A and B are shown apart, each in its own frame.
Chain A
């Protein structure tokens, strides 16, 4: 990992329901300039809360109880409201799942984009409009001048998401957070939006934190994968290596239920059981209850996140030996079993 990370999150803990439950439990990861990192996990695993904390936009009742978020050399955990205004939207952009709910339905989308440019960059009305049309065109929207004057209800979901990506990158941010940004889109549109994100990254050196429950989406976009389970990181490492040789049983299970690109008739795999409720206090591994390899020791004491060569980290008692492309995955022998 390069020495100077753009974003570095250290031992982040986020509590929900007014501090009663700890939903993010000591999460640490870094994002280098130009890197795309994918956060993957089931709903409730803490990936979205982590992103919201990085954006300083936690919902009421949620708060960062401890840990550090360092972005571009500044500590964001103690940032004032004014400091956040200079960072959020300007240096960190964000796109979320449901584009329609982030736009004002009674204003043309172009005006909403131009407003950001005027407020954040201080552009004059005419310049902001020109820049907005230019940005919409750069997002791959057909006839940007017409789109500029259209209302959200006149645009399809894919077009709205492109408008929101235009808003997110309008101030030339260093980091873009894409939280389930393609989940609600048709597959053909999803492929186009993923390509747009990849292109923006290549053109502008944008770092991306991509959140999804779909490993296939992460695989398409990201260099590194961070797997969340029950508020903790259970595995992280270079995307291709994690996908080729998952070291944690949960990652392995996620891969088996993912869209395999296999068109044959087959038995669809499932992960039995439910994840622990947010804030549940379990003495040991949080996945142990659903893991077919679990031993007694797994549930006895907290399992540390162990670093392995090649930038990989695994939180599993059964994976203390080095992991890597050549090592045999934990679940490899049990493929097809009902893990």
Chain B
């Protein structure tokens, strides 16, 4: 979370045996309260299981920077959640951690061993230890449709020349551990349900008893019940295997149910990081607040009004080169935001925002806006037969400062943002049109 020159912070010493309760997740943060001279808390192994420092990754040609100065620490028995929207670099981060993507600079250490510089034989040897395992997003595409479940799960063992009898026993044990009937081993992935397939993916990942499990959107293709099933399974496994787990997910509420800490990624930078309950309950970065307020919920209202957290829409097409990555969507952005904010660590939480002390007050200022989730709409039939041509979306004053966007063109592609007015979907919530 911090720059390359400073020590990685965050985190909690985690003991698998006492793996419950938010209290244990936040207890240790204070040691690094001022962000200086902090030594990383050590897990049971003495060193963090996974330590990512100052990771920069570029992909494509011409190279596009995907990840910038990412710092992460995962300890044994800990679940770290990573949230962020499409294109924020979540998957690239996961792939970099397992060595599928090479970094431009920075380090990825697994149990103290630097893996980003491994090549050839050394890399293969590292992979065959089975210490780090990856669960892919789409089980249908990551499981060979022609192989039986048993073959798929046991493949990693076969590569390591584990004798067939032992292999079969371990495959059976892994399937049982994820709650599948071992008889499924004879079927192909096409013959089992989506939830079962995802469990097969997890069984394949845990069959060699990894110490670190990286799950890229393991639940996004599943309905709520199966989603909870899989997350519960991961929660259970970290206790049983003492493994560190990284879970990428877009379902904030379910993630909050099992994860200890969360890192919020936006356009390749971690903008906020800390104990998951605290981060979602009291977000200190405007983007985290926007995510939390956007999450649909059956009951209850968000802490911050959604409308106050949105700036004029740009649909992510504008590059904020050289400044805070979120500035182009941030209603609280000012000229200061043309400089990348350094992450500031306080109370076990890291936030990269220049205005972290002031924006919550501005978001809460003046009258509270209508409930972001209008449930029953009384406007039925109020505007019958009003063709769109006669009722263009109203131009709304974009909340926050527009001047910054006009002046922040800098070296980047000069957006015509300042040439607003643009219709703002944020202003288009029902109450605006019905009640007034």
CA distance A204 to B382 in the complex (A): 8
> Is A198 a contact of B430 with CB atoms below 8 Å?
yes
**Cβ distance A174 to chain B, nearest Cβ, rounded Å:** 10
CB nearest neighbor in A for B259: A265
Report A192-224 CB contacts with B as 1/0, cut-off 8 Å.
Answer: 101110110111110000000111110110010
Report A241-258 CB contacts with B as 1/0, cut-off 8 Å.
Answer: 001000000000111011
CA distance A188 to B251 in the complex (A): 12
List, in ascending order, chain A residues with CB within 8 A of B300's CB.
260-262
With contact pairs A134-B388, A140-B425 given, residues A240 and B315 touching in the complex (Cβ less than 8 Å): no
- Selecting from A63-71, A79-87, A269-277, the interface stretch reads A269-277
B86 at the interface (CB under 8 A from A): yes
CA distance A122 to B316 in the complex (A): 35
> Is A140 a contact of B428 with CB atoms below 8 Å?
yes
List, in ascending order, chain A residues with CB within 8 A of B313's CB.
140, 142, 192
**Cβ distance B355 to chain A, nearest Cβ, rounded Å:** 19
List, in ascending order, chain B residues with CB within 8 A of A263's CB.
252-253, 256, 276-277, 280-281, 292
A143 at the interface (CB under 8 A from B): yes
Report B373-401 CB contacts with A as 1/0, cut-off 8 Å.
Answer: 11111011111111111011100000000
A267 at the interface (CB under 8 A from B): yes
**Cβ distance B234 to chain A, nearest Cβ, rounded Å:** 10
> Is B379 a contact of A138 with CB atoms below 8 Å?
no
Q: Which residues of chain B from 348 to 379 have any CB-CB distance to chain A below 8 Å in the complex?
A: 372-377, 379
CB nearest neighbor in A for B196: A274
With contact pairs A135-B388, A140-B313, A196-B428 given, residues A187 and B291 touching in the complex (Cβ less than 8 Å): yes
A99 at the interface (CB under 8 A from B): no
CA distance A153 to B297 in the complex (A): 31
Report B312-351 CB contacts with A as 1/0, cut-off 8 Å.
Answer: 1111110000000000000000000000000000000000
List, in ascending order, chain B residues with CB within 8 A of A217's CB.
296
With contact pairs A187-B250, A240-B375, A243-B299 given, residues A203 and B391 touching in the complex (Cβ less than 8 Å): yes
A36 at the interface (CB under 8 A from B): yes
In the complex, which range does the number of interface residues on chain B fall in?
A: 35 or more
List, in ascending order, chain A residues with CB within 8 A of B28's CB.
none
> Is A157 a contact of B86 with CB atoms below 8 Å?
yes
Chain A: interface residue total (CB-CB under 8 A): 71
B290 at the interface (CB under 8 A from A): yes
B106 at the interface (CB under 8 A from A): no
List, in ascending order, chain B residues with CB within 8 A of A192's CB.
313, 425-426
A114 at the interface (CB under 8 A from B): no
> Is A203 a contact of B426 with CB atoms below 8 Å?
no
List, in ascending order, chain B residues with CB within 8 A of A258's CB.
224, 298
> Is B228 a contact of A268 with CB atoms below 8 Å?
yes
CA distance A324 to B257 in the complex (A): 30
List, in ascending order, chain A residues with CB within 8 A of B144's CB.
none
A104 at the interface (CB under 8 A from B): no
A292 at the interface (CB under 8 A from B): no
List, in ascending order, chain B residues with CB within 8 A of A155's CB.
315
A33 at the interface (CB under 8 A from B): yes
With contact pairs A195-B428, A199-B428 given, residues A254 and B382 touching in the complex (Cβ less than 8 Å): no
> Is A270 a contact of B232 with CB atoms below 8 Å?
yes
List, in ascending order, chain A residues with CB within 8 A of B383's CB.
202-205
CB nearest neighbor in A for B193: A274
A11 at the interface (CB under 8 A from B): no
Most B CB contacts (10 A, CB to CB) among A157, A214, A254, A268 go to A268
- Selecting from B94-102, B108-116, B123-131, B416-424, the interface stretch reads B416-424
A126 at the interface (CB under 8 A from B): no
CA distance A196 to B427 in the complex (A): 10
B85 at the interface (CB under 8 A from A): yes
> Is A137 a contact of B416 with CB atoms below 8 Å?
no
With contact pairs A191-B306, A199-B430 given, residues A186 and B297 touching in the complex (Cβ less than 8 Å): no
A320 at the interface (CB under 8 A from B): no
> Is A220 a contact of B374 with CB atoms below 8 Å?
yes
CA distance A136 to B229 in the complex (A): 40
A232 at the interface (CB under 8 A from B): no
> Is A191 a contact of B223 with CB atoms below 8 Å?
no
CB nearest neighbor in A for B251: A259
> Is A156 a contact of B86 with CB atoms below 8 Å?
yes
A42 at the interface (CB under 8 A from B): yes
> Is B256 a contact of A264 with CB atoms below 8 Å?
yes
> Is B373 a contact of A219 with CB atoms below 8 Å?
yes
B258 at the interface (CB under 8 A from A): yes
Q: Which residues of chain B from 9 to 38 have any CB-CB distance to chain A below 8 Å in the complex?
A: 20-22, 25
> Is B298 a contact of A216 with CB atoms below 8 Å?
yes
A58 at the interface (CB under 8 A from B): no
In order of increasing CB-CB distance, the 5 nearest A-B pairs are A261-B297, A140-B425, A216-B296, A34-B380, A268-B228
- Write 13 A-B pairs (CB below 8 A) sorted by A numbering: A191-B306, A198-B374, A201-B430, A202-B383, A203-B433, A219-B299, A259-B251, A259-B254, A259-B298, A264-B257, A265-B276, A269-B225, A270-B225
Partner-A contacts on B (CB < 8 A): 20-22, 25, 85-87, 193-194, 223-229, 231-232, 235, 250-254, 256-258, 276-277, 280-281, 290-300, 302, 306, 312-317, 372-377, 379-389, 391-393, 416, 422-426, 428-430, 432-434
